[in-house]
Chain A
Amino acid sequence: MSASVEGTPVEKARAIGREIARLHADDVDRQARFPKEAIEAVRAEGLLAASVPRELGGLGATVPDVVSMCQGLAQGCSATGMVFAMHHIKLLSMAAHAAGSDATQGYVREICDKKWLVASVTSEVGVGGDLRRSVCAVETTGDTFSIVKDATTISYGAQADGLLLTARRHPDSAPADQSLVWLKPGDYTLEQKSEWDTLGMRGTCSPPFLVRGKGRADQVLREGFGDIAPLSMVPLSHLLWGGVWLGIATEAVSRARAFVRAEARKNPNGPPASGLRLSELQARLQSFRTLVYAMAEEYNGAMVNKIDKDHLLSIGYALRLNNLKLVASTSVAEIVTAAMPICGIMGYKNTSPFSLGRLLRDSFSAQLMINNDRLHMTNAQLLQVYKDDS
């Protein structure tokens, strides 16, 4: 691939997925190493700023477009797609809540300008996987603050340029009274606590780290995480992850389709038996794709110009958003699994063009990134009052 790709940001991301990410995906997986070739290509094309509004130095891509970029990258390499998704979940959450704060706007512009890759530090020892609770706290002294966070996982922590981290607002704050804190390059050190050797998504390089950081007080976002989470971070996570999982499922179906086509060409006498399974699979993929993009359009509509808090903070929306994650995360594993009998032994082999092993292993991570049982528990709570009457 040439140094510069022509086209829209979506076309560029898709080309990088097809021509660079795909080339290195098996090596990234085997060695559990960062997908540096594809992420450097993304950086070189300016796509790390894709989701940020133009007035803050970004490309102003819509949410459906960013989802489409995640999908395109993940079709080539799941880890590349996931790194891209997590970066934009963080950066766009920061940008969406920058209004009214010159400092935050300045930091977002700097991230876009310097093409920094941002990692997320929400997990922590002692909170049981609850995004909305923190143990660590921002300790402010005059114009500066310091923080120490014992994170159970930081995806691409060692490769990122900066961190966006959740913490209690003050040492006296309740666990749910959280702030979002920006740590620039040079503001922090990372001490890796153990290895990242997993079944799938190996290239996200997500081991536990101890973070020690410090910075200026204005690096703590003014808007509380209690609002940032439901308005931006949670919806964007489910939507952009959905794009990544859709990319994995699309790739599996594409391999199954190629296999069936090859069979058909050998014997052009009506569709082979595996064609029926392919038909079934294609229908499931279509409904998965429709769900992800419809929800992305809806969210985009609620975010354009002014955040529609009333809509995004309703029980109906919370339920549907959780359902998106539940359906997308289970669909991806089901679709890759269903592709296996179509490709047969050629799908089972690690060294065949129809191989499904890596996709299958990657797909299982989806139901664990915010455990689906946690979301079912939340939905069970909400369904006690929700009537589905609109």
Chain B
Amino acid sequence: MQNQIRTILQQHGKLGTDATSLAEDADLYQAGMTSHASVNVMLALEGAFDVEFPDRMLKRSVFESIRNIHAALSELTGGR
């Protein structure tokens, strides 16, 4: 799951650094992800994992690190 998240961040996150080697808890917004880019990341994640982020998850803290994205996706997929 983590590798897929990194691939999506690499494609859509508009980060100033390489998403494949970024620390799990690095702040993605500080790494250059804009709000605009974060929505594209959310869309790509919803498509790739066949999930829908409920509104309660649509906030900066949920998408600010690879670890937090992983946790949110795990909750939605029930570990499938």
Taken together as a complex, chains A and B put the C-alpha atoms of A314 and B64 apart, in Å, by: 12
Give the number of chain A interface residues (Cβ < 8 Å): 22
Question: Which one of A174, A226, A311, A315 has the highest number of Cβ atoms from chain B below 10 Å of its Cβ?
Answer: A315
Stretch at the interface among A7-15, A121-129, A141-149, A382-390: A382-390
A310 in contact with B54 given A381-B39, A384-B43, A385-B42 (CB within 8 Å): no
Per the 8 Å Cβ criterion, residues 332-390 of A in contact with B are 378, 381-382, 384-390
Contact assessment for B55 and A313 in the assembled complex, using a CB-CB cutoff below 8 Å:
no
Report the minimum CB–CB distance from B5 to chain A (whole Å): 16
Per the 8 Å Cβ criterion, residues 8-66 of B in contact with A are 16, 29, 32, 34-36, 39, 42-43, 46, 52-56, 58-61
In the complex, what residue of chain B is closest to A314 when comparing beta carbons? B59
Give the number of chain B interface residues (Cβ < 8 Å): 19
Chain B residue numbers with a CB within 8 Å of A318 are 35
Contact assessment for B52 and A226 in the assembled complex, using a CB-CB cutoff below 8 Å:
no
Contact assessment for B43 and A390 in the assembled complex, using a CB-CB cutoff below 8 Å:
no
Number of A-B contacts (CB under 8 A): 48
Contact assessment for A309 and B60 in the assembled complex, using a CB-CB cutoff below 8 Å:
yes
Contact assessment for B42 and A310 in the assembled complex, using a CB-CB cutoff below 8 Å:
no
Contact assessment for B39 and A174 in the assembled complex, using a CB-CB cutoff below 8 Å:
no
Contact assessment for A226 and B29 in the assembled complex, using a CB-CB cutoff below 8 Å:
yes
In the complex, what residue of chain A is closest to B45 when comparing beta carbons? A385
Question: Which one of A174, A176, A381 has the highest number of Cβ atoms from chain B below 10 Å of its Cβ?
Answer: A381
A174 in contact with B54 given A315-B59, A384-B43, A385-B46 (CB within 8 Å): no
Chain A, residues 121-139, CB within 8 Å of chain B (1/0): the string is: 0000000000010000000
Contact assessment for B58 and A385 in the assembled complex, using a CB-CB cutoff below 8 Å:
yes
Chain A residue numbers with a CB within 8 Å of B60 are 309-310, 313-314
Taken together as a complex, chains A and B put the C-alpha atoms of A234 and B32 apart, in Å, by: 20
11 contacts between A and B (CB under 8 A): A174-B16, A176-B34, A309-B60, A311-B59, A313-B60, A314-B58, A316-B55, A381-B39, A384-B39, A385-B39, A386-B58
Chain B contacts to A: CB under 8 angstroms = 16, 29, 32, 34-36, 39, 42-43, 46, 52-56, 58-61
